[in-house]
Amino acid sequence: MEQKKIDYVLYLADCNLILSQRSAEWCGHGPVLEQDIAITNITLDLLGQARNFYQYAAALINRSAAKAVTEDTLAYLRTEREFKNLLICELPNGDWAQTILKQYLFSQFQYLLFEQLQNCKDEQIAAIASKSIKETTYHVRWSSEWVIRLGDGTDESRNRMLKAIDTLWMYTGEMFQPVSYELHVAKEGMDADVSTLKEPWLNKVKEIFQEATLSPALLNEGNTFMQTGGKEGRHTEHLGYILTELQYLQRVYPGCEW
């Protein structure tokens, strides 16, 4: 079904857009200028990836839609229940440690996903993944170095990282629990079976944690209730506030263009 593919492409786009919007809150507020610039550049990378996926989703929708859609209408005119991003992407930034850990956990997953999608039967998805993985490689390296620096740093930085783990870990399971549109595209030979990514992702995370002198036992594998629903449009209260800010101009001045 074409709709399942559209939903899948929107999921890929929404994750990047929402995390980009959230991370953009650090612009001008980073701990030092160099890192302020770094996270802003990552934010722009995510936004660019989101645009590529939205453009493809719009092309798929316009094959049969009575009214044409664009990347802008998909970003600015959908409601919370229509967004399919992972819950972890919409969570508040918190402090620097929480922002860094969130970026690392997502980027490590995204890297493995794009690596898989490079072999996707759908040539457009494969092309976007191939282009995006170059940027995601940097995202993983940058965020993992910060996880190590904070985990193996001062008592204060370590405690903040421990708190970040406790806050975010319950949102990681959703990455690897496929929903209907993911199952569909996987059956269609699109190399999108996210359940196969859990073990390599967990191994990478444990490697970084060990280097950061953070015990893998902190991950509490198998004993944490995982929060889910984002991929099917059931979100936390935080997404509504993000969309209010993101969509304000288009909602107040319908049809406005830069």
If you ran DSSP here, which 8-state letter would residue 33 be given? H
Cα–Cα distance measured from residue 242 to residue 248, given in angstroms and rounded to the nearest whole number: 10
Cα–Cα distance measured from residue 149 to residue 185, given in angstroms and rounded to the nearest whole number: 39
pLDDT of residue 59: 95
* Mean pLDDT along residues 92-113: 97
pLDDT of residue 219: 75
pLDDT of residue 173: 94
> 238-246 vs 2-23: helix axis angle to the nearest 10?
80
Confidence class of residue 245 from pLDDT cuts 50, 70 and 90? very high
- 200 neighbors 112 (Cβ within 8 angstroms): yes
Burial class (CB in 10 A: 0-12, 13-18, 19+), 117: buried
Which whole-number Å values give the CA distances from 174 to 63, 150, 169, 247, in the listed order?
31, 26, 10, 26
Give the domains, in start order, of the chain with CATH numbers. 2-252 (1.20.1260.10)
Taking only the tens place, the pLDDT of each residue in 214-239 is 987 777 666 789 999 999 999 999 99
Cα–Cα distance measured from residue 64 to residue 107, given in angstroms and rounded to the nearest whole number: 34
**Distance separating the N- and C-terminal Cα atoms of the chain:** 35
Burial class (CB in 10 A: 0-12, 13-18, 19+), 66: exposed
Confidence class of residue 97 from pLDDT cuts 50, 70 and 90? very high
Taking only the tens place, the pLDDT of each residue in 176-211 is 999 999 998 888 766 668 989 999 999 999 999 999
How many CB atoms are located within 10 Å of the residue 233 CB? 18
Cα–Cα distance measured from residue 46 to residue 40, given in angstroms and rounded to the nearest whole number: 10
If you ran DSSP here, which 8-state letter would residue 213 be given? T
Taking only the tens place, the pLDDT of each residue in 43-57 is 999 999 999 999 999
